[in-house]
Amino acid sequence: MTVCLLLAGAVAAALPTEAFTLAWTHSVEKTEWREEWRVEDGRLALVEASVAGSGAGMQPADGAQLEGGVWRWRPSVEPLFRLRLANSAYGGDYRLCWDGTCRPLAALLREAVGEPVEVAPCRQPAAPAVGGNEEKKR
């Protein structure tokens, strides 16, 4: 099963993977936040979260471990059918990472700048997302 990016409920692109990292830079603290997601039983399971620091709205969860200056923990949340990204023009761009590379959401969905985007397991086969502005996963 692949991971779909949806605009207004319609598939706009698909990632050729069942596991991905969602990364962004906090708009106030300017530190990176990362979430590791995986498709399990037709839903998105949050496997791990990490943040490089703490501050306004970025407190590590209870039980988080500090590793190399990054707080890591395993969130206890139920798997989701869809993950909604605000994709605001006022915050930093989301990055989606899989297979060792990261791509800005704006490069994957140029028509979605400033529009909410949903991430969900694809219910049917879809063409893989294509490139633009790749960076190596950190």
Q: Which long-range contacts (CB under 8 A, 24 or more apart) does 65-72 make?
A: 72/48
Amino acid in the structure at residue 6: L
The DSSP secondary structure of 7-40, one letter per residue, reads ETTEEEEEES-SEEEEEEE-TTT--EEEEEEEEE
- The per-residue pLDDT for 136 is 47
CA atoms within 13 A on the CB side of 41: 5
Extract the residue ranges of the chain whose pLDDT is less than 50.
128, 130-138
- The per-residue pLDDT for 92 is 67
- The per-residue pLDDT for 98 is 96
- The per-residue pLDDT for 72 is 94
pLDDT digits (tens, 9 = 90+) for 9-18: 899 999 999 9
Number of domains the chain is built from: 1
- The per-residue pLDDT for 57 is 64
- The per-residue pLDDT for 69 is 86
Is 135 inside any structural domain? no
For 29, the domain range is 3-126
